[in-house]
A and B are shown apart, each in its own frame.
Chain A
């Protein structure tokens, strides 16, 4: 009796939406294309050699984190206005996706810095603020874990998600206001003592422009969509479990 009523709803909710499947395929292909652009098409940097190619992922990944954390702000604002749980789920998806991309950004930066700066990590202002940015969003997850009442959790998480964007903006602008950073600027002129900056030739610029929409838009959007879907599937499972418990 119970299985009969449950089966049809189960199958409809576990099929992947066609748009999401298409987007995932496009993202996978685009990521591959972006890698080919960066690894094969772009010319080798005459000073840094092949290690410079990691930059085609390093900077776009930060951009993707920025987009994801921006989504968190949007989701938070929308939740506080409408009080619909789906917006909070979107905000949470933004934080988790952004955190993953921020880790990609930090890891690739570290790998690049080993041969160029001769160290994995240095307490440079920009590196420090990027690390603190990642910690802020871990604090967001801790804050969520500390609240039991779901309405209160959504409310507080929205507030903190909006406030936390200041650390992202801080990471973006710190390179302009702290003159002692050694991190090269990508847009505009680098700080005086930047080490390991480079001029982009046209093939390098093509590789960067090819990778930017992939890591900055396609990957975060796809990941967030999957995360939101995971949440709704989870809710469904909980609801079904509750219904089974009643029977």
Chain B
């Protein structure tokens, strides 16, 4: 008898959140990295006020995606090292439920980091980052990264080169998400009229949906043994 789909998803998410609340390993290292990255960018680019406003959405998204890579590697490596993946394969559960469980956990971590990063960057770069639309873009963007990231990380943690391979395979595939997210956030920060950029969130949502379906279908091939 199979455990119901949503029960499995919830159980995996709860396990990930509980482990994180107790150890605080993942989010704290992601956050520390994000903070450093934002500071390094502001020194490296030697930004004046105008250049900062142009570059800020790029800095935000590059930071969020690299922090996600960090989190994804840890999250899936933990499953492999403890032998959890094999255990989940033995359990009478749907593999797609395992995918959505891991995806939801990774998404929550990445979104948390993004949400904490926004007020911080708003102060450091003196930009109006706390807007409803930007929160929506952050939500959709991190969802897109986490979706293909969860699938690809499940693959790369099983390879010889492990951690170093994930950014190499993830970044090109995540490009459509990155492009739409950066363009939308730049337009929002410039306070451009809604009609000029409203296609970007639409494209972003469409790309998210395509990746979600594609990764959901492909995931069962990645963890079989």
A27 at the A/B interface (Cβ < 8 Å)?
no
On chain B, the residues within 8 Å of A80 by CB distance are 221
Q: Contact: B169 with A155, CB < 8 Å?
A: no
Please choose the segment from B11-19, B30-38, B91-99, B154-162 that sits at the chain A interface, where 4 or more of its residues have CB less than 8 A away. Answer: B154-162
Report A-chain residues with C-beta under 8 Å of the C-beta of B165.
Answer: 142-143, 146
Is A170 interfacial (CB 8 A cutoff)?
A: yes
Is A56 located at the chain interface by the 8 A CB criterion?
A: no
Residues on B with C-beta less than 8 A from A100 are none
CB distance from B216 to the nearest CB of A (A): 12
Across-interface contacts of A167 in B (CB, < 8 A): 172-173, 175-176
Q: Is A132 an interface residue (CB 8 A)?
A: yes
- Quick one: closest A residue to B207, CB to CB? A166
Closest to A157 in B: B155
Q: Is the CB of B155 within 8 A of A132?
A: no
Q: Check A160/B221 contact, CB under 8 A, given A146-B165, A166-B173, A177-B199.
A: no
Contact call B168/A139, Cβ cutoff below 8 A: yes
Which B residues are CB-close (under 8 A) to A142? 161, 165, 168-169
Q: How many residues of A contact B (CB 8 A)?
A: 28
Specify which chain A residues have a CB less than 8 angstroms from the CB of B203 in the assembled complex.
Answer: 177
**Minimum C-beta distance from A106 to chain B (A):** 15
A166 to B218, CA, bound (A): 14
Greatest chain B CB density within 10 A among A125, A147, A159, A160 is at A159
Interface majority SS on A: helix, strand, loop or mixed?
helix
Q: How far is the CB of B183 from chain A (nearest CB, A)?
A: 8
Q: Kindly provide the distance from the CB of B184 to the nearest chain A CB, expressed in whole angstroms.
A: 12
Q: Per-residue CB proximity of A127-159 to B under 8 Å, as 1/0?
A: 001001101100110110011100010011011
Tell me if B47 counts as interface (CB < 8 A to partner A): no
Q: Do residues A132 and B172 form an inter-chain contact, with CB atoms below 8 A? A: yes
Nearest CB of chain A from residue B23's CB, rounded to whole Å: 29
User: B225: nearest residue on chain A (CB-CB)?
Assistant: A152
**Contact yes or no, A163 B173, CB < 8 A:** yes
Residues of the A chain whose Cβ atoms lie less than 8 Å from the Cβ of B155: 143, 156, 159-160
Instruction: Give me the 8 closest cross-chain CB pairs, A-B, nearest first.
Output: A136-B172, A146-B159, A146-B161, A159-B218, A139-B169, A139-B168, A146-B160, A156-B155
